[in-house]
Structure 1
Amino acid sequence: MKYIIAIIGLLVVFGLAYVVSSNRKDVKIKPIILMVIIQLILCVLLLNTSLGLGLIKVIASVFGKLLEYAGEGVAFVFGGIANDGQAPFFLNVLLPIVFISVLIGILQYIKVLPIVMKAIGLLLSKVNGMGKLESYNAVASAMIGQSEVFITVKKQLGLLPANRLYTLCASAMSTVSMSIVGAYMTMIEPRYVVTALVLNLFGGFIIASIINPYTVAPEEDILEIQDAEKQSFFEMLGEYILDGFKVAIIVGAMLIGFVALVAAINSIFQMIFGISFQGMLGYIFAPFAFIMGIPFSEAVEAGGIMATKLVTNEFVAMMDLASMKESFSPRTLGIISVFLVSFANFSSIGIIAGAVKGLNEQKGNVVAKFGLKLLYGASLVSVLSSIIVSMVL
């Protein structure tokens, strides 16, 4: 039965993407089928084999160690603020982002990360039917972040037509930055975080190739990466430390605002309609939860968490999932967890448009115009990844 629901789910996702396609006649079926097959194979390897589980265990242990080291710095500065036995979210989940940001900066500085991103991007371009720039951008977005990635391709931004620009932005919204992966792993199971990262990479290309199909001419398929401005090692360290801290502060501020706002709206809806705002959204999103393989009995609650992620951000939704996990089956927990690992929410539209506008004002205005279409496509990517996982769990 789960395979039938999954097939229906795939058809619904592809149909919803096809409805808003900018060029339906140019949709390439072969790369889409190939990438779905690759998603399934990778999902099986990661979740259902000893090799995959071992790999995830190694990745989780690495991030676990990194979080321990980060904890040393946090404890030195903020030690004594929290009572023994307490684990404040800001100290234990957000501030370690600073240390992981530093590590990314070091890998960038010694040229390891650019080589890896370019190599994987070129490999991806062989199977996704898109350009080298698009493939590189998707990998880079997952490693250095949805706004920082545009700095590395700023020379080419002004030359890109709107369709290629859409694909670059869609990749940035469909993935998550490596700097906050450790934070996710403290809130949901690491194996679902890793699986989502891999699936979303291909899912972004699948949905973009339906919504926004095009062919890149060989003479236009040039990958020219902008090197960072030359800095001393310690200048770079200072910059990435501050960048990581800014991310932690921004996420913390957004959580304060969104959690408080959702609590207020829930209270108002409860008084007026007898149902919370999230509960109402749960009914709206329940059909999507069902085609993702979640049983009817859990679909409404799952739909509420999905909606929370869309209208607020993934951290708020992960906190809700953590508080409600006892009411979900292990399979449902896995499916929802994979859905939550992406930047597909309303605030990301402003972040991406702002990042592009800071580098090229004209192109930033173009991105702002198709912002809702970006969010629509990135949300379909999350649903697609969850459906793939539902076939394996």
Structure 2
Amino acid sequence: MRYLIPFCGLLLVFGLALIMSKNKKEIKYKNIVLMLIIQFVLAVVLLNTKFGYVLIKGITNVFDHLLSYANTGVSFVFGGVLNEGEFSFFLGVLLPIIFISSLIGILQYFKILPFFMKWIGLFLSKVSGMGKLESYNAVASALVGQSEVFITVKKQLDKISPQRMYTLCASAMSTVSMSVVGAYMTMIEPKYVVTAIVLNLFGGFIIASIINPYSVEESEDILTIEDEHKQTFFQMLGEYILDGFKVAVIVGAMLIGFVALMDLINSLFEMSIGISFQELLGYIFAPVAFLMGVPWAEAITAGGIMATKLVTNEFVAMASLGEVAKSMSAHTLAIISVFVVSFANFASIGIIAGAVKGLNERQADVVARFGLKLLYGATLVSILTATIVGMVI
């Protein structure tokens, strides 16, 4: 039963993906099997080996140092606002995004990130069977963010078919931006953040290859990366700092709204039917959590967090997870922690469509039409990643 139930979970994921597939004859099963094997190997290495421990420890130390530098800047501006021993989510978790964003801008300006994105993307295209553009976009989404990634390929947007556009958007929704990774690491264990990012990269290709299979002609498989080097260094730096601030404020505003609304809805449901809205959603998602490897005794609680992430965002879900983490087994905590690390929620549909709309009106209409299908696929990616972790941990 230890492996049988999660195996049924994998079958469920692939079955749900096949139901939505537009052209089953085009599915590249060899590439899917190869990527699935890679996911299992990476999960085992990252979570169950000394090498994985050292690697994640090194990444965690880097982000710990970056966050300490960020907090120096935050303390300089907001020092004395809080009493000693108090904690502010906005000051301690969100505002450090500004510093991380500025570092991303510097790495972009000096062509360091584009170099890695391009060559890692080319390697992934060999493994996934996808085009160079799709593979580059998946890596770029994880590094620069789901909105900014489309700017780097804006010259090609007008020539991209709806099928390819779906894959680009699916990658953007299945991954997370490097600018918020540090914030995630303050809310859940860093090893689950790193594992989710890596596994979701391949998971996004797997699900997109089933739901939206197609072949790219050699003549169409051209990667043209937009050069944003027209700005001076300090113009660029100022822009990325302000972008980071916008992200922090937007996330903060969404958290205020979503957390308050969730509390209101929970209260209304408790008064009317005796259980909270999150508990009700937990019952709906409990079977899925169970097939991911969560023990049935914890499936309702886990299902509630999964649903919260889908209808609000990953920050609200992580906050909810933090409230019940001590009552969960380590196995369940690992599965749900990995599940919540992605941009797969309703708000992301609007974010991605809005980002594309600012660059290409026609493609924005295309994105809006397959918005729910996009969320469906990205959610399957999260379930796939969580199920794999449930099998290996």
User: Which band: TM-score by shorter chain?
Assistant: over 0.9
After superposition, residues 167-182 of structure 1 pair within 5 angstroms as 167-182=167-182
Paired position in structure 2 for 1:113: 113
Is 1:58 paired with 2:61?
A: no
Q: How far apart, in 1, do the equivalents of 2:229 and 2:196 lie?
A: 32
Report how far residue 272 of structure 1 moved.
Answer: 0.6
Letter in 2 for 1:323: E
For the 8 Å contact 2:90–2:252, the answer to whether it is kept is yes
After superposition, residues 339-358 of structure 1 pair within 5 angstroms as 339-358=339-358
Instruction: Using the TM superposition, name which of 227-236 and 362-371 deviates more.
Output: 227-236
Paired position in structure 1 for 2:98: 98
For the 8 Å contact 1:67–1:96, the answer to whether it is kept is yes
Paired position in structure 1 for 2:380: 380
After superposition, residues 129-168 of structure 1 pair within 5 angstroms as 129-168=129-168
Paired position in structure 2 for 1:294: 294
Q: How far apart, in 2, do the equivalents of 1:194 and 1:238 lie?
A: 29
After superposition, residues 296-375 of structure 1 pair within 5 angstroms as 296-375=296-375
Is 1:203 paired with 2:198?
A: no
For the 8 Å contact 1:269–1:277, the answer to whether it is kept is yes
Paired position in structure 1 for 2:19: 19
Structure 1 gaps, min length 5: none
Percent identity between matched residues is 71
Paired position in structure 1 for 2:38: 38
Q: How far apart, in 1, do the equivalents of 2:366 and 2:292 lie?
A: 32
Instruction: Using the TM superposition, name which of 60-69 and 19-28 deviates more.
Output: 19-28
Report how far residue 2 of structure 1 moved.
Answer: 2.1
Is 1:194 paired with 2:194?
A: yes
For the 8 Å contact 2:312–2:346, the answer to whether it is kept is yes
What do residues 28-49 of structure 1 show as CA deviations (whole Å, max 9, x unaligned)? Answer: 1111110000000011111111
For the 8 Å contact 1:188–1:318, the answer to whether it is kept is yes
TM-score, normalization by structure 2: 0.99
Paired position in structure 2 for 1:2: 2
What do residues 116-136 of structure 1 show as CA deviations (whole Å, max 9, x unaligned)? Answer: 000100000001011000000
Q: How far apart, in 2, do the equivalents of 1:27 and 1:5 lie?
A: 26
Letter in 2 for 1:124: L
Letter in 2 for 1:233: F
Is 1:212 paired with 2:212?
A: yes
Report how far residue 26 of structure 1 moved.
Answer: 1.4
Is 1:185 paired with 2:193?
A: no
SS across alignment from 2:43: helix
Q: How far apart, in 1, do the equivalents of 2:227 and 2:345 lie?
A: 30
Structure 2 gaps, min length 5: none
Paired position in structure 1 for 2:75: 75
Letter in 2 for 1:231: Q
Report how far residue 9 of structure 1 moved.
Answer: 0.8
What do residues 101-157 of structure 1 show as CA deviations (whole Å, max 9, x unaligned)? Answer: 000000000100000000100000001011000000000000000000000000111
Paired position in structure 1 for 2:271: 271
Q: How far apart, in 2, do the equivalents of 1:294 and 1:90 lie?
A: 32
Q: How far apart, in 2, do the equivalents of 1:344 and 1:148 lie?
A: 17
What do residues 310-349 of structure 1 show as CA deviations (whole Å, max 9, x unaligned)? Answer: 0000000000000111110011101000000000000000
For the 8 Å contact 1:146–1:352, the answer to whether it is kept is yes
Q: How far apart, in 2, do the equivalents of 1:329 and 1:278 lie?
A: 20
Letter in 2 for 1:82: L
Report how far residue 293 of structure 1 moved.
Answer: 0.3
SS across alignment from 1:67: helix
SS across alignment from 2:179: helix
SS across alignment from 2:156: helix
TM-score, normalization by structure 1: 0.99
Letter in 1 for 2:92: N
For the 8 Å contact 2:109–2:229, the answer to whether it is kept is no
Q: How far apart, in 2, do the equivalents of 1:4 and 1:30 lie?
A: 23
Q: How far apart, in 1, do the equivalents of 2:139 and 2:291 lie?
A: 28
For the 8 Å contact 1:2–1:390, the answer to whether it is kept is no
Report how far residue 229 of structure 1 moved.
Answer: 4.5
Q: How far apart, in 2, do the equivalents of 1:219 and 1:283 lie?
A: 50
For the 8 Å contact 1:23–1:213, the answer to whether it is kept is yes
Q: How far apart, in 2, do the equivalents of 1:229 and 1:168 lie?
A: 24
Report how far residue 25 of structure 1 moved.
Answer: 1.9
Q: How far apart, in 2, do the equivalents of 1:2 and 1:145 lie?
A: 36
SS across alignment from 1:158: helix
Letter in 1 for 2:293: G
